A and B are shown apart, each in its own frame.
Chain A
Amino acid sequence: MAVREQTGTSRLQRKLDQHGFTRRDFLKYCGCLAGMMGLSSLAAPQIAEALEIGAEEGGLKPVIWLEGGSCTGCTEALTQGTTPDIPQLVLETIALNYSETLSAAAGHSLEQARRETIEAGGYLVVYEGAVPTAYDGNILLVAGEKGTDILLETAKGAEAVIALGSCACDGGWMAARPDDAQAMGVQRFLSEQGVDVPVVNIPCCPANPEWLTAVIVEYVLNGTLPELNDRNEPAALFNQTVHDNCPRRGHFENGEFVYEFGSEEEAKGYCLYPLGCKGPQTYAPCPITRWNRSLSWCVEAGAPCAGCAVINPMNPQGNWVDENTPFLDRHKDFAVGPISFQPTTVAAGLTVLVVAVLGVHCAGMKLAGRMDGGADFEAERRWDARHDKPAAHEAAARAQQLYDDLDELGLELKNTGAHRKRDAAGRKKATAVEVAAKAQGRAASDNAGASAAPAEDAAADLADLLVRPTDEPEGGDK
């Protein structure tokens, strides 16, 4: 009871009052927090109470907010320009001990605050921006100290490091080609340096302050970090795609698309998929939490998702910029040196090339006379001919004899089903009777032991048995 009276006029409550937030707003926010933490919204009052007690006692958990190679956009998102919202007030009140951008103090006194917090231990680090490592880390100096050293020093004693924004997760913009700063994310940097501290990645450009507050509050209240997925992101937040929860999804399923900005379809709020929306492969809860006091977000405001939540923490080259540009194309560009191209260009180009080669090949087949049944068979496989196998030679001799016989009969074996017979070349049409007679002749000669005899002998036998068909038209007709 005493506690409740106390919370009624807590410091946090007074601060909220000053900014025009009612207690109802605050409790609603605590309900949202509960949702993000995977708790029932019934936990909202308990969260509110815990936050207020923490605020009264002067910070539940000290937070050191470091700036790396950043544009300060994530801090900017937190402060929402001129109108701070509840997450910021909560965060400021409960914890923020050091922030280069937000702290009233500056210079030595601020650095002093950081050192004291590190010495006291039991703090969290929020790291904003990439870790630029070029020139042995000298590319980023803060207060005369290398940015990489500050991160190492601060992270070593921390209970956890929250990498805030895609740059902190894997280098982001900073690591995009050509990556002169040799930037990388916090997780990769710390693991390379052998610092064993849990890293929570909260991607997006900038990161949504509500996600940050949710993670910090969960840690403060439960003493545990949220369950992480394989990219070290809070699983409850980052395991579904933007596409899964998109308000334009119905238009996608209906096949109603915007193909051009400024079109009638755009006015109707159709799906932005053909304009290169990266929502289907971007894991982020943007459509749920939304932005700027849950007012709106990119796709709702009419811009295709640029996929800024795509991170590859251990591979800075997989940063969301290189993975998703050009933003208005369906696929990312591939780059070979200075040349970049779309996968479709390569694939379709290769296919056209193959078809062209086949066209040329087809002309070659026509010229070579192979289109109608293919070229003549070799009498014997080359391998067999070369390796001198008697059985193969024998079979080859028989096959050759067969071809000669068929040729003589004018049977041209073409692949047209009709099996035309040559007579234009002065060869006589083969009749069934003749063929049968010849076949019998072959069988007879085989039975006589010709199978072992050389092919020439068999041919000689046949010559005796048959009148050469080519002679007949000349003699017979005249």
Chain B
Amino acid sequence: MAHLAHYREAHPLPMVITHWVNLIAMIVLILSGLEIHYPLVPGVMGIARGLHMFFAFVLVVNCVVRIVLAFVAKSAPAGGTRRLVRDYKTWLPQRDNKHQLWAWISYYLFLRREHPIAAKLGVPQKIVYLLIAPLIFFTAYTGFCLWGPTMGWPIFTWGTQLVGGAMNMRVIHYFCMWVFIIFMCIHVYLSLVEGASPATLIFFWKETPGLVYDPDTMNITGFDGMGKEPDYGETFKDPVRAAADAAAVAEREAAREGAE
């Protein structure tokens, strides 16, 4: 019964877009990068390299945009609420999920039965997502150490010397790709294993009904049926929306009864 309502406020539209850009850029970078590592498909090396460089810039710029958004845009501090805070606050340790690192790990290791009540992001999730930004910049740096036009710049030759030459840099850059691949496997798995709602929200910005969370008392207070199911308990809805949802539910009920 741990299904929270998925509100758009959790992932405002700009974040949905940056997530899409990340997804597309990473997929293209991984595929073109594999081609550059070993040209399994003949005839497309020029295209692969062009795409690789283009999307490298896209990914880096997107990452910068996302970081700026964190300080400019607002988002919900937790799932199941429409309350908004400055987005960067949802990346710092929050009142809602302090002391929960072990709670999450033990939940995923089946050492506890109950789903932790948490903020929008679980603690391990938050840490890993935060590491993705430095990983993007680091991978881009190692990439520029290998890219013809920039490999001779002092800032990049310094790094190449530090790791003991271009071969090591090449291998490091290659390993970075696999870190992204492993991250994506785990990320996709964990975001889908308990249902499709997180995915429909981040990709299609579609809201789904569920439990309502109160950031003040930091616990569940009600159920928001979003017009598909009857609401229950405290949903913090404004009266207009509540009335509209109730009407929609009544209509559905009437239609269902009519059908029966």
The chain A residues found within 8 Å of chain B, CB to CB, are: 230-231, 239, 241, 243-244, 252-257, 273-274, 278, 280-282, 307, 310, 312, 315, 318, 323-324, 330-332, 343-344, 347-348, 350-351, 354-355, 358, 361-362, 364-365, 368, 370-378, 380-383, 391-392, 394-396, 398-399, 402-403, 405-407, 409, 411-417, 419, 430-432, 435-436, 438-439, 442
Contacts and interface: CB of A to CB of B under 8 A. Distances in A.
Contact of B195 (A358, A414, A436, A438): A414
Contact of B39 (A255, A310, A382): A255
Interface in B165-214: 165-171, 174-175, 178, 181-182, 185-186, 189, 193-197, 200, 208-211, 214
Interface stretch (B56-64, B113-121, B124-132): B113-121
B5 to A, nearest CB: 9
Contacts, number: 230
Interface in B28-45: 37-39, 41-45
A380 to B, nearest CB: 7
Nearest to B249: A432
Q: How large is the interface on B (under 10, 10 to 19, 20 to 34, 35 or more residues)?
A: 35 or more
A370 B112 CA distance: 12
B113 A375 contact: yes
A2 B86 CA distance: 86
Interface stretch (B12-20, B69-77, B99-107, B136-144): B99-107
B231 A358 contact: no
Contacts of A403: 1, 220
Given A255-B44, A256-B42, 8 more contacts: A254-B45, A256-B43, A348-B178, A376-B2, A376-B114, A392-B217, A395-B219, A439-B232
Contacts of A365: 193-194
Given A354-B182, A375-B114, A435 B219 contact: no
Contacts of B170: 281, 331
Contacts of A372: 194-195
A252 B37 CA distance: 13
Nearest to A231: B161
Contacts of B249: 432
Nearest to B163: A318
A436 B46 CA distance: 64
Q: Is the interface of B mostly helix, strand, loop or mixed?
A: mixed
Contacts of A380: 117, 219
B178 A373 contact: no
A377 B1 contact: yes
B3 A415 contact: yes
Contacts of B211: 377, 413
Interface of B: 1-3, 37-39, 41-49, 98-100, 103, 107-108, 110, 113-117, 146, 148, 151-152, 157, 161, 164-171, 174-175, 178, 181-182, 185-186, 189, 193-197, 200, 208-211, 214, 217-223, 225, 228-233, 246, 249-250, 253
A368 B178 CA distance: 31
A135 B54 CA distance: 54
B185 A254 contact: no
Contact of A373 (B103, B113, B194): B194
15 contacts: A239-B152, A255-B39, A318-B168, A330-B37, A343-B174, A351-B185, A361-B193, A376-B113, A391-B217, A399-B219, A402-B220, A417-B209, A431-B230, A432-B253, A439-B232
Nearest to A396: B219
A354 B100 contact: no
A371 B98 contact: no
A258 to B, nearest CB: 10
A419 to B, nearest CB: 5
Contacts of A243: 148
A436 B107 contact: no
Q: Nearest 5 A-B pairs (CB), nearest first?
A: A415-B195, A281-B166, A395-B219, A255-B45, A347-B178
Given A255-B43, A432-B253, A375 B171 contact: no
A361 B193 CA distance: 10
Contacts of A244: 148
A351 B194 contact: no
A327 to B, nearest CB: 12
Contacts of A358: 185-186, 189
A436 B186 CA distance: 41
Contacts of A254: 43, 45-46
Contacts of B186: 354, 358
B219 A392 contact: yes
B161 A230 contact: yes
A202 B256 CA distance: 86
B229 A419 contact: yes
A402 B222 contact: yes
